[in-house]
Amino acid sequence: MIWYVVTDSQENYRQYAGAFCHHKFTLERLAHDCCLMLHYKQVNRRLLSETCPWAICHSGGSALYDSYDVLEDKAYGECIRRWDIPQIGFCGGSQILATKLGSTIGPMRALRDGEADHNPGYHPGQLKEWGVYPVRIVRRDPLFNGLDGTLHVQEYHSWEVKDLGRDLVLLASSEHCRVQAFVQRERLLYGTQFHPEQSHDNYPDGFKVLLNFFRLARRCRAK
């Protein structure tokens, strides 16, 4: 079994349950195993011991971090910092992992004169990556096995990781967002600013990233 932890607010968890379920089914298909979807408030050691996941995926989200307590939740923070289980975070989930591991996050810069707002209804006036973007690999890693130097992946964010914690290694960047992927030095823990779980057949690079992650996680479990 794997876990898919929804990092969004409880209100958004209920409102967008259909979309999160769709991502869950994608993860199940790629992992070739069942996936337990749960809200971060449900994460605890008892559930860990009962279900024994071999990988944990952390979702993105659209709620502002100062409107709910995901960054302060102690049980969820322990999962990220101390549990020796392969983990990967997507978009907002990646930012949360990075924050718990000593990084700083914040909004991308304001739009400059003449720059288009690709989604005026979401943080208007703010630079966003919204759609399919090229992401350049800056450090080779098994997460990118079988992929060229540039990925084409789905992006939907206006915040980013500003500075990585000292135990995190930068793996990929884009034109407007330096931290597109990272890995922790001593653990199988990854973050991707892009959304590999929202890939599709026209742009399958994100699927390949997830397949690589699940292969790495299975090898880790077999040791």
The per-residue pLDDT for range 11-55, each reduced to its tens digit, is 999 999 999 999 999 999 999 999 999 999 999 999 999 999 999
pLDDT at 221: 79
Name the one residue in this structure whose structure tokens are 């020796």.
Answer: 84
State both tokens at 125: 């006036």
Specify the pLDDT at position 201: 92
pLDDT at 75 over 90: yes
pLDDT number for residue 123: 87
Lookup result for tokens 């102690």: 74
Residue type for 61, please? G
Contact between 67 and 201 under an 8 Å Cβ cutoff? The reply is: no
In the numeric block, which tokens belong to residue 177?
């967002």
Q: Single out the residue of 173, 164, 208 nearest to residue 193, CA to CA.
A: 173
Q: Is 0.85 surpassed by the pTM of this model? A: yes
Give 119-152 pLDDT, tens digit per residue: 898 889 999 999 999 999 999 999 999 999 999 9
User: Are 179 and 160 a contacting pair, CB within 8 Å?
Assistant: yes
| DSSP 3-state of 174 | coil
Report whether pLDDT(74) > 80: yes
Reference 190, options 200, 182, 198; nearest CA is: 182
Whole-number pLDDT of residue 4: 98
Task: Say if residue 223 is exposed, middle or buried (CB neighbours under 10 Å; 0-12, 13-18, 19+).
Answer: exposed
Across the range 75-81, mean pLDDT stands at 95
Shortest CA distance to 151 belongs to which of 199, 185, 86? Answer: 199
Predicted local confidence at residue 222, as pLDDT: 74
Cα–Cα distances (Å) from 13 to 9, 41, 101, 198, in that order, read 6, 11, 24, 17
Residue 175 reports pLDDT greater than 90: yes
All domains in the chain, ordered by first residue: 2-222 (3.40.50.880)
Extract the runs of DSSP E, i.e. beta strands, from 100-158.
104-107, 129-137, 150-157
Q: Bigger pLDDT: 66 or 76? A: 76
